[in-house]
Amino acid sequence: MKTMHITIMAGLLGIALPAAAFDFGKIDWEKAAQTVQKVQKATTEIDEPQEIELGEGIASNLLGAAPLLDNAAVQRYVNRVGRWLAMQTERPDLPWVFGVLDDDDVNAFAAPGGYIFITKGLLERMRSEAELAGVLAHEMSHVLRKHHLQAIKKGAKAELLSDFANEAIKDKGGDQRLTKLVSAGTEVYARGLDKDDEFEADRMGVVIAARGGYNPYGLPSVLQTLQGLNPADSKFALMFKTHPAMSDRLTKIDDMMASGFEGMEDRPDLSDRFAREMGAGRR
């Protein structure tokens, strides 16, 4: 009860200090300050360097599950497209890294701090650079909005995250908290993000691709391709499990694109360049 009183007082103080007309005589200042500190601590978000460090760990785990496709030309191409898109966003200066995973599964992953991966299986089902741009922009939106961090919090790992936020990690390799957090972060891929976060990433993905000058129909076009796939096939199992139904995603994009995208359907989809760049990887 006393603590509560102090907390309320401390809260009021922030607002009412200039017009102070209270009797402050009975307040335990030290305790009040501690309470305020505690409240601040609980709500502290991890900062950008920490976000990047966590993302690196998660990305390293992903690459442990599936290595990079051993094709420098394709990797570079995907990075050029991704970097251009990143420049259209509110976080253009993150150390964005894009990669194609050598795996036949159809899926794509984003890790905090700017790590974006798509599988070879998904890339092979694309038909243009605009489609690639749409998928990369969808994944980038997860990073922009920190959806992954929210998913970690929801998975009852909020404490790990706030501990990490408050204690500077000095000894990188040996820190148990970071290791635990990275493994919690990797598990998010098996569970999936919040469905509303997926819808948000669809909306943002379409817009980011449009900002980059691409034909904005790339992302819905990929979703339509995926819609026709057999969900019972193990190659698509995890993607279908961790995402809202393709038909629901298409319906929402359809609603959004009903206005504001007039005249954009003639924008380049760069299907020729895409075919050339993919083909260049063949020996």
Partner 1 sequence: MRKSILFVVLLGVALTAGAADFARTIRDTELKAGPYSDAKTLANIPVNSKVEVVKRQSAWTQVKSGKSSGWVRMLSLRYQTSTSGRSDSGLGALFNVAKTGTSGSTVTTGVRGLSEEQLKNARPNPKELERAKAYAVEKAEARKHARSGKLEQQDVDYMGGK
Distance (Å, whole) CA 214 – CA 266: 9
- In the complex with partner 1, the residue whose CB is nearer, 34 or 127, is 127
Nearer to partner 1, 13 or 127 (CB): 127
Q: Measured from the CB of residue 8, what is the shortest distance to partner 1 in angstroms?
A: 35
Residues 6+ apart with CB under 8 A from 40: none
Q: Which is nearer to partner 1, 35 or 215 (CB)?
A: 215
Whose Cβ is closer to partner 1: residue 149's or residue 200's?
Answer: 200
Instruction: Please state the closest distance from residue 36 (CB atom) to partner 1, in A.
Output: 35
Placement of tokens 């360049």 in the chain: 273
Considering only CA atoms, which of 69, 79, 127, 150 is closest in space to residue 102? 69
From the CB of 165, what's the least distance to partner 1, in Å?
22
CB of 260 to partner 1, least distance (A): 7
Contacts 24+ apart (CB under 8 A), 186-191: 186/58, 186/61, 186/62, 187/155, 188/148, 188/151, 188/152, 188/155, 189/62, 189/109, 189/238, 189/242, 190/238, 190/242, 191/151, 191/155, 191/242
CB of 171 to partner 1, least distance (A): 16
Token pair 């007082």 is found at 9
Which of 6, 274 has the CB closer to partner 1?
Answer: 274
> Helix (H, G, I), strand (E, B), or coil: what is residue 188?
helix
Shortest reach from residue 186's CB to partner 1, in Å: 5
For residue 37, count other CB atoms closer than 10 A to its CB: 10
Q: Which residue's CB is nearer to partner 1, number 10 or number 222?
A: 222
Q: Are 82 and 138 in contact (CB under 8 A)?
A: no
